[in-house]
Amino acid sequence: MRAETEPADALAFLKEQVRGIPDFPKKGILYWDITTLLKRADALRIAADLLYERFKDKGITKVVGIESRGFILGGILACRLGAGFVPIRKKGKLPAVKISKTYQLEYGSDVIEMHVDALSPDDKVLLHDDLLATGGTTLAALDLIKSTGVREIAACYLVELTALGGRKRIPAEYETEALLAF
């Protein structure tokens, strides 16, 4: 498969690379595993190319990736876009002064943190995560980003679980893109 493949063919190819794992991390959850996509150089390149094409003309200055799988394509996108990379991590993983947000997951709650000095109000931010489910993690990340004064934010995902309605929870003011829908 080559990067020049038509987008419909490329998207079908990428979708075939993602596997569903039932009852993980707990019974009743169908976990969409992207590691099967990431291990293929061609699939990783195509996914990065497609996301890059969607945001290359937006003037992005920082890509904010959500731990942990959001770091993978988020880092690639930052490099390709000529932007800096900012990690949002789980509680207790960042060493400097940080801000935090507690949020609900589809199977519990969690806390995420970001360094307080990671962004400035002039930044144009692209928030990236591997998967959009209920939108809880995204909303918490948006709160962290907005608390730094940033006004221009877009969000992108490799996978969106449409039945869980996460996109509907994200305010319309934020451009939101997902490559694959399940």
Residues 6+ apart with CB under 8 A from 70: 88, 128, 129, 130
Whether residue 19 lies in the annotated active site: no
Domain extent, residue 71, equals 7-181
Q: 108 or 27: which carries more pLDDT confidence? A: 27
Give me the catalytic one of 67, 106, 152, 175. 106
Q: Would residue 27 count as lying in a domain?
A: yes
CATH label of the domain that carries residue 111:
3.40.50.2020
User: Can you give the pLDDT at residue 26?
Assistant: 87
Provide the domain count of the chain: 1
pTM for this predicted structure: 0.93
User: Can you give the pLDDT at residue 5?
Assistant: 53
Q: Would residue 2 count as lying in a domain?
A: no
- Helix H or strand E segment including 132: strand 124-132
pLDDT 10s digits, 156-180: 999 999 999 999 999 999 999 999 9
User: Can you give the pLDDT at residue 43?
Assistant: 97
CB 168 within 8 A of CB 157: no
Give dist(CA 154, CA 158) in Å, integer: 14
Whether residue 69 lies in the annotated active site: yes
Q: Would residue 108 count as lying in a domain?
A: yes
Q: Would residue 36 count as lying in a domain?
A: yes
CB 51 within 8 A of CB 57: no
